[in-house]
């Protein structure tokens, strides 16, 4: 996708750090020349798996993006500076920090920056920085959503409100299976977020291809995806969109097996009083 956007006001010269945000040179050059750029989160690196598996995975994901003709822009906050695009050295540092890097959603950004801390950005924080510099496409595994029993706890991920106010297209394998998927989709509708699925009419459930929930929009080709993103941006709706791509059949786990494991994990989390943004890393398998 030729983004063709003017450079962000956060920088003025190639590779120059301005304030509390720095853009990697290859990402900045890509922005200036309208090249395809894919934003990536960093929470999966620091909180998703142990070192060195997390570093290998991060490099593999970036390599896949490059092999398909785009520039990867992994986002994180290091020493109080938001970095859009990380070097191999920075990736390794983040991977070794692990959970010592703060899990950073939009609400946490001012604190991490003000204290000169290290933050691994979630979907909401990554979307925020991607939009600030003009990157309209963000890829992740699964977004956050409405937690089970969310009607009582009001535990709703900031990923959803970010999608409602930030014009970035999020490509994912759906919503994490530990969440309440029907209520998550209802919340996204209330936020005015376009939800589509790729080559299916049913919303995928992260580990599995099917959630039992229908999507209002089906896309069958990359060109259809691009047209949808283009329409959203040119209409200036101000909101993002979610394009869910099912996990390939050969990697899809048994839905019943996963659901059983989720129920056990949720019960254990309840007993140990694990709530808020700690619930997802606690419940998801390593």
Give the active site residues: 41, 176
User: What is the residue-wise DSSP string for 89-151?
Assistant: HHHHHHHHHGGGSEEE-GGGHHHHHHTT--EEE-HHHHHHHHHHHT--EEE-S-B--BBTTHH
> In this structure, how many other beta carbons lie within 10 angstroms of the beta carbon of residue 121?
34
CA distances from 267 to 42, 100, 153, 270, 282 (A): 28, 26, 15, 5, 11
Helix (H, G, I), strand (E, B) or coil at 17: coil
CA-angle at 129, arms to 190 and 104, nearest 5°: 80
Map residue 283 onto helix, strand or coil.
Answer: helix
Coil, helix or strand at residue 60: helix
């Amino acid at each position: 996708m030729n983004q063709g956007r003017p450079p962000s006001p956060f920088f003025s010269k190639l590779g120059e750090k301005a304030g509390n945000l720095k853009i990697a040179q290859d990402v900045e050059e890509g922005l200036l020349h309208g090249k395809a750029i894919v934003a990536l989160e960093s929470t999966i690196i620091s909180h998703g798996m142990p070192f060195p598996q997390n570093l290998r995975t991060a490099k593999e994901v970036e390599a896949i993006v490059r092999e398909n003709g785009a520039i990867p822009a992994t986002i994180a906050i290091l020493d109080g500076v938001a970095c859009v695009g990380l070097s191999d050295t920075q990736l390794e540092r983040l991977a070794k920090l692990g959970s010592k890097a703060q899990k950073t959603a939009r609400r946490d950004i001012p604190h991490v920056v003000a204290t000169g801390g290290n933050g691994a950005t979630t979907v909401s924080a990554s979307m925020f920085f991607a939009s600030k510099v003009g990157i309209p496409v963000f890829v992740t595994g699964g977004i956050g959503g409405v937690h089970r029993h969310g009607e009582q706890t009001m535990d709703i991920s900031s990923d959803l409100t970010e999608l409602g106010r930030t014009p970035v297209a999020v490509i994912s394998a759906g919503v994490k299976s530990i969440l309440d998927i029907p209520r998550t989709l209802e919340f996204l509708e209330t936020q005015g977020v376009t939800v589509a699925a790729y080559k299916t009419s049913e919303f995928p459930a992260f580990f599995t291809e099917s959630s039992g929930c229908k999507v209002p929009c089906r896309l069958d080709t990359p060109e259809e995806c691009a047209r949808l993103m283009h329409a959203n941006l040119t209409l200036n709706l101000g909101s993002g969109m979610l394009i869910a791509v099912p996990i390939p059949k050969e990697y899809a786990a048994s839905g019943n097996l996963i659901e059983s494991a989720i129920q056990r994990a949720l019960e254990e989390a309840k007993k140990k009083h694990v709530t808020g943004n700690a619930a997802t890393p606690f419940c998801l398998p390593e």
